[in-house]
Amino acid sequence: MTANSAFSNYHALQVQYRRHLSAGLQALANYTWAHSLDNASNDVVDGLPSNVISAASDYGNSDFDIRHTFSAAITYDIPGIRKGVLHAVSKDWTISSVVVARTGFPFNLQLFGTSPDPLGFATTRPDLVAGQSLWVGVSTAPGRQSVNAAAFSIPGTVRQGTEPRNDIPGFGLTQIDLSLARKFAVTDRINVQFRADAFNLVNHPNFANPLGFLEFGPTYLSSTEMLNQALGGLNPLFQQGGPRSLQISLKLTF
């Protein structure tokens, strides 16, 4: 049975700054505070009795809810030396940078071994223990923190736990990309562009959220991969959240 029972709500404050090209410099900066809530973030809702898993009672942070997002892009045409021998070497260079910083995707823990679905497609959440922090510092864990197992308990019967949906704030993202480029005019219609790109210039570590299976032990309460591997869909080498990577390219336009 398929029913149109999902609902969602979204609030946001969006601010943008633009600097149009002036003296070789142009910039664009965006900040968004947002809160997305729903009771289903995709087309699949576990088909189980409402007393076990009820979509109506799952209203909470969306899977893709990102509370704070900042991004900026800056491009600067380097003036170069106007006279002398170095003029030919220093002219027509451009430096540009993209900066992204955001909070993480929320998640919740899951119970797999005590799932109400024998095939394991539907999983429930554990009970939340009052007075315990959701994260605990662990010096050897990726991001130096792990989900606090003491903050959760397994219900004695097969039911939905008291942990709210997507209540745990996940790992965020911080990345700076930098590019240096120069265009060489071969003829009036033919140009060659040299470009060097650095992705995640400062090699800042960005981690994916833990898998979150409570019964499977501490390994599943800490991150197991970098963010670029978890997002999927694109080449992980150049996807946001990976280690520093470099590329050099030549482009011919005519």
92-125 pLDDT, tens digit each: 899 999 999 999 999 999 987 666 666 666 778 9
* pLDDT band at residue 48 under the 50/70/90 scheme: low
Beta bridge partners of 30: 16, 71
pLDDT of residue 87: 74
Cα four-point dihedral sign 116, 121, 122, 123: positive
pLDDT of residue 17: 98
pLDDT of 21 strictly over 70: yes
119-133, 202-216, 233-247: range with lowest mean pLDDT: 233-247
| Residue position matching structure tokens 């605990």 | 136
| Whole-number Cα distances in Å, 36 to 4, 32, 53 | 19, 12, 21
Mean pLDDT of the chain: 88
Cα four-point dihedral sign 23, 69, 241, 37: negative
pLDDT of 170 strictly over 70: yes
pLDDT of residue 50: 59
pLDDT of residue 37: 96
Rounded to an integer, the average pLDDT of 46-62 is 72
pTM of the model as a whole: 0.84
Spatial contact of 249 and 237, defined as CB atoms under 8 Å apart? no
Closest CA to 60 of 138, 205, 162, 190: 162
pLDDT of 58 strictly over 90: no
Spatial contact of 48 and 122, defined as CB atoms under 8 Å apart? yes
pLDDT of 172 strictly over 90: yes
CA distance 207 to 205: 6
pLDDT of residue 186: 87
* pLDDT band at residue 80 under the 50/70/90 scheme: confident
Give me the amino acid identity at 157.
T
194's tokens:
């040299």
Phi and psi at residue 196, in whole multiples of 5°? -125, 125
